[in-house]
Structure 1
């Protein structure tokens, strides 16, 4: 008789693309992205961080920056705590041609298998005073987070002054494997087959 040993972890696979962005008064920008996951999550395949090409809004168009940059990442874990998040930072040129932050955004990957068209709202830090704001503008160094993963943290965000501005569209296809073995419902309906009727 062979032992029926179940899987030692469950797996999620996310593919798709960072499609485009609309940001007020921004006609030229690129995007840096990274996936942030908890300590129990192990990267199996794909890139956890990357940078898109620069996109430019054509003259007379509707203000959409198009990247269509592919994303493809696979994780395994035994614990849903620390579910992966996608963190983005968009950089563009100011009126003097300097590279400055245009906005940050963060979202958890979906928890159910399926295809998703998501909108990620952007925000950027505000200077603490009018003098700081003027100095930042003069030097071309606006307020920026020192840790690019900061938007994914819960701590400290409630005291951060930010202003909203624009959004990024992301298309994600998510697959899960063996979540039901660890007691998680992924919404696919496959786990219902293991529930016995009383």
Structure 2
């Protein structure tokens, strides 16, 4: 992993440490309680510390995939492009990817299915990430049975917070989850190529991955 450099004066323009992730949110699988008529789409946001500046997007890196439907193997293929580019004064607050998974049912209703997050790669090269998601437990066994059976209705296990609190760098989101009982949900495959620029000028040492 990257080793942070000692403190140093601000670098000249054009010599800042840059980090670029490019790839795609490929597919998801094993999301419970869905029927063949239900589609999935993903809201995502790349979050970093206060010393990180997103390049080209003042509002940060927030986006949404198209709606995908399961293939015969139960896989939801998104193939949605991702492109996150930062410059940084410090390695503290390394970028993370936060996701919120939504279900679109046959009646056109939207319901949250799961949440998840994953630290983005800290080594250059190609990486296949698996982002495992979670959801709150229902309030009763009956609600759990309804969810697994795909019974229509609102989700009584939804997070007691708006979507922006999960995606937009809200420090209260982990505190909210710590007070809840949750269970694992499906997984997302994310393919990324990571490029570092000016790392050596900032004394960042890259340790080779063992073979």
Matched length:
182
Hey, what does 1:9 align to over in structure 2?
16
Is 1:130 matched up with 2:143?
Answer: no
Q: Any stretches of 5+ residues in structure 1 without a counterpart? A: 190-198
Query: What's the C-alpha RMSD, in Å, of the aligned pairs?
Result: 3.1
Q: Distance in 2 between matches of 1:42 and 1:181?
A: 18
Hey, what does 1:19 align to over in structure 2?
26
Hey, what does 1:179 align to over in structure 2?
199
Q: Any stretches of 5+ residues in structure 2 without a counterpart? A: 1-10
Q: Following TM superposition, by how much is the alpha carbon of 1:154 offset from its aligned partner in structure 2, in angstroms?
A: 5.0
Which stretch shifts more, 169-178 or 5-14? 5-14
Q: Distance in 1 between matches of 2:140 and 2:68?
A: 31
Please, which of 86, 92, 95 is the counterpart of residue 103 of structure 2? 92
Q: Following TM superposition, by how much is the alpha carbon of 1:9 offset from its aligned partner in structure 2, in angstroms?
A: 2.4
Please, which of 17, 40, 50 is the counterpart of residue 63 of structure 2? 50
Q: Please, what TM-score do these two structures have when normalized by structure 2?
A: 0.74
Q: Distance in 1 between matches of 2:131 and 2:172?
A: 13
Please, which of 149, 158, 174 is the counterpart of residue 144 of structure 1? 158
Q: Please, what TM-score do these two structures have when normalized by structure 1?
A: 0.78
Q: Distance in 1 between matches of 2:27 and 2:202?
A: 36
Q: Give the structure, 1 or 2, with the largest relative contact order (CA under 8 Å, sep 6 or more).
A: 2
For the pair shown, the structure with the greater C-alpha radius of gyration is 1
Partners of 2:26 and 2:78 within 8 A in 1: yes
Q: Distance in 1 between matches of 2:207 and 2:141?
A: 51
Is 1:34 matched up with 2:45?
Answer: yes
Q: Distance in 2 between matches of 1:62 and 1:100?
A: 23
